Amino acid sequence: MTKDRKDFRKKMIGNHRLSPETQMMGYGYDPELSEGSLKPPVFLTSTFVFKKAQDGKDFFELAYGKRAPKEGEEPGLIYSRINNPNLEMLEDRLALWEDAEKGLTFSSGMAAISTSLLAYLRPGDVILFSAPIYGGTEYLIRNILPEYGIKAVEFESGGTNPTLQPAMEEAKKLGRVAVIFTETPANPTNGLIDLHACRDLADKVGEETGHRPVIMTDNTFLGPVWQHPLEHGADIVLYSLTKYVAGHSDIVAGAAIGSTAMLGPIAGFRTILGTMCDPHTGWLIMRSLETLKLRMTAASENAKKIAKYLNEHPNVEKVHYLGFMKKDDPCYKIFQDQCEGQAGATFAFDIKGDEAAAFRVLDALQVIKLAVSLGGTESLMEHPYAMTHADVPDDVKERLGISDRMLRISVGVENPDDLIADLSQALDAV
């Protein structure tokens, strides 16, 4: 793709700004460059041919930061570990949802998280992280990063026990606080983090120490349709694209989105570590982006009905659904502000019983699939305590409200009455 792709990045018609769901149909792509094909082809190539030797030199200088780009200059295609047309188009479109300058795609959500953290953390640094978070991220922070001399301090999500400030004071005593890592809503409890408070605290630490921590936010549960963390103080937004964005439970990928400056170090690490997404996966995700808002809207509407049913069931003790939050809840303002009043389609609920009873419910399912992951077109249920958060210490799980009575459901786009019928017969097993 040698033509200047700026021509194909239309964001406005006159004074009218195009919405992301419209731009997903062709942003960053010109059919004339691909024999008139309506959809972009899959560029299954490891390397790209330079027209002239000078082009190769220019492309590499820009790719490796040996010089600043000239006005209007964009990176040339070199090698698919560095850049690829499918990934460039995908990254452009992902950035649109966040109104961001740049996006980067990775081979998995954990590849996005680990590459981003490694780009900003050094031995002796401290990472301040919210809890609970996805089990894989928890394991990386608690068990792997300390082996490289990186310390971690936890603060809890929610507004009833504000632990952010005390945790930061503890973290500053241990070393340079380089990253504030947040996941909001939290997996699996749906606990919320006030990103404005994180931003204000990061700014204060920057003034005090001369180094402002980078705020990274995992936005997998609600984004990019229902929540836009960059607007509320995050510097880098992270995704498991496997979930809602790709949305069909058939690929694994991740993303980091933010400003060009903030993503620069991450892009460099991605090139050397080789954690980029592959072209075919990127092409499949672009297909899914065309229906992202439709799928997330349908799943969210279904989830409202499912949550209401569960909340009234005699064998259910508590439903951790954001839509049930009351105005007197300390997190209500965060929910209305950051989440745009949208509760999403993944939440947990506690049954009246123990692990054995929870397993009986899962084993009795007939329509809803017993599987980890979330955000697909089909509904899934799992047991966080024993499955997705198995690596989290038991005492930490209990403290954070992840009990052996808890089940997590990712509501899909099936007929909600069918899902309720399945849950009804399964809950009889309690």
Torsional class of 123: left (φ above 0), alpha (ψ -120 to 50), beta (otherwise)? beta
pLDDT for position 65: 84
Model confidence at 4, pLDDT cuts 50, 70, 90, reads low
**Is the pLDDT assigned to residue 319 strictly greater than 50?**
yes
For residues 3 and 189, which has the higher predicted lDDT (pLDDT)?
Answer: 189
Model confidence at 288, pLDDT cuts 50, 70, 90, reads very high
In this prediction, residues 329-344 reach a mean pLDDT of 93
Identify whether the C-beta of residue 302 lies closer than 8 Å to the C-beta of residue 411: yes
- pLDDT tens for 74-103 read 889 999 999 999 999 999 999 999 999 999
In this prediction, residues 390-396 reach a mean pLDDT of 92
pLDDT for position 73: 86
Go through 234-262 and write b for each residue having 16 or more CB atoms within 10 A of its CB, e for each that does not.
bbbbbbbbbbbbbbbbebbbbbbbbeeeb
In this prediction, residues 382-406 reach a mean pLDDT of 95
In this prediction, residues 331-346 reach a mean pLDDT of 94
Model confidence at 33, pLDDT cuts 50, 70, 90, reads confident
Model confidence at 6, pLDDT cuts 50, 70, 90, reads low
Identify whether the C-beta of residue 82 lies closer than 8 Å to the C-beta of residue 253: no
Model confidence at 1, pLDDT cuts 50, 70, 90, reads very low
**Is the pLDDT assigned to residue 310 strictly greater than 70?**
yes
Q: Label residue 291 exposed, middle or buried (CB < 10 Å: 0-12, 13-18, 19+).
A: middle
Question: Where do the domains of the chain lie, and which CATH numbers do they carry?
Answer: 5-87 (no CATH), 89-279 (3.40.640.10), 292-427 (3.90.1150.10)
pLDDT for position 159: 62
| Structure tokens given for 226 | 């229902």
**Is the pLDDT assigned to residue 72 strictly greater than 50?**
yes
First-to-last alpha carbon distance for the chain, in angstroms, is 58
In this prediction, residues 221-249 reach a mean pLDDT of 97
Average pLDDT over the chain, rounded to an integer: 94
- pLDDT tens for 110-163 read 999 999 999 999 999 999 999 999 999 999 999 999 999 999 999 998 765 568
Identify whether the C-beta of residue 145 lies closer than 8 Å to the C-beta of residue 181: no
Scanning the structure block, which residue is given the tokens 């005593």? 173
**Is the pLDDT assigned to residue 7 strictly greater than 80?**
no
Cβ contacts of residue 7 below 8 Å, gap of 6+? Answer: 30
